[in-house]
Amino acid sequence: MSRRTPRPRFAAVLLTALLAAAPASAADDERLAKAQRLLDEGRPVAALAEVETVLRRDPDHAEALLLRSTARFMEGDMEAGRADLDRALAADPTLRQAWLNRAGLDIAEARYDAALEALERARELDPAAPDNDLNVGAVLLLQGRIEEATGHFESYLAAAGGSPGERAEAHYLVAKNYAGQGYARLAVETLRRAVEADEAYRLAARTDPSFQAIAEAPDFQRLLETDLHPPAPDDRVVRERYPAAYDGGHGPLLSAVLEALRLTEEPFDPRVEVTPEWALVHGELRVKVSDAPPAEAEAGPGILQISTRPGAVPAAEWQRRVERVLEAVDLALLRRQRSARPAPEAPLPPG
């Protein structure tokens, strides 16, 4: 009997150890997930606190090392970040994101051949990943290998998702790469495809530093000044004429419309597109301000067009919201008209 007693005691001790280890692993996963969220929010210091807790228990935890590497890069500590990245890859060479990060470092240091090698390792780990061709194309473009880069970009675009939004994003990312290296024609052609699918990408391109290198290209400027999304036949549309002009954004109509949208608390993107011919306010309601053609100017030089896709706004709500905006525009213009009137002259003193 005495010889058999250690076995159940040993089993009990082992079970206790396993039960003690399980919560730590789950807690580590939660901490690393939280650290990733903090990094996504741009809070590397807070992320480091979560990661360090995991590394104190397991100094060679590959995912924790990768996250600490990213946090240190964000903090500007490149040497420590690279050391952590190397340790993460040594601990687990199957971490695809680590190879992508390695490629990013090599690109920053103009070590393009090394970057291509890192991207090849990433491709081997996930041959079907949609960003494989995009990443390789970007590096080839940096090397000036335009034909090879274009081949990879075309493969990437051909495999892009089936939804218009996915296709638009794919074309925009390729356009950014072309524009960053000064390939204006290819950038504009590809950006046009993105804008045709989703005009929000025209707005994005206006402020995206990737397009700075081609900012003065006539074709790029022409694309930014072209409205490729007039209302479709089944859209809800209201057009109103006003005695106030748009005048390339300098007339009173645009400022009155923006004031009306704010007063009615209509949600809209504060990044307003302003061109010589029209201005566009993006929101649940698509609000376009322009001047009337010269032949129609006598009926009112300014035009306000409000539209929305079917189903985007319920019919009853659409009518109510549009009426509120139009009334607010009238009031805003009236206030401007009154403030522009000259003050009456003071009467002369008697005698």
- Tell how strand 278-281 and strand 302-308 pair up: unpaired
For residue 182 the two structure tokens come to 């000064």
Residues 129, 96 contacting (CB under 8 angstroms)? yes
Q: Which top CATH class is 20-224?
A: mainly alpha
CB burial of 43-53 (b: ≥16 within 10 Å; e: otherwise) equals ebeebbebbee
d(CA 74, CA 80): 11
Q: Which residue has the tokens 């057009």?
A: 239
* Residue extents of the structural domains in the chain: 20-224, 236-339
Reply yes or no on domain 236-339 having CATH 3.30.1150.
Answer: no
Residues 254, 230 contacting (CB under 8 angstroms)? no
For residue 342 the two structure tokens come to 């000259």
The H-assigned helical ranges of 4-145 are 6-40, 44-57, 62-74, 78-91, 96-108, 112-125, 132-142
Q: What does each of the 351 residues of the chain score in pLDDT, given as a tens digit?
A: 444 444 434 444 443 333 344 455 788 899 999 999 999 999 999 999 999 999 999 999 999 999 999 999 999 999 999 999 999 999 999 999 999 999 999 999 999 999 999 999 999 999 999 999 999 999 999 999 999 999 999 999 999 877 889 999 999 999 999 999 999 999 999 999 999 999 999 999 999 999 999 999 999 999 999 999 999 999 999 999 999 999 999 999 999 999 999 999 999 999 999 999 999 999 999 999 999 888 776 667 999 999 999 888 998 899 999 999 999 999 999 998 877 655 455 454 554
d(CA 316, CA 173): 39
Going by C-alpha positions, the residue among 178, 215, 172 that lies closest to residue 191 is 172
d(CA 301, CA 333): 14
For residue 322 the two structure tokens come to 């549009």
CA–chain centroid gap for 322, Å, is 29
Q: How many beta carbons lie within 10 A of that of residue 215, not counting itself?
A: 14
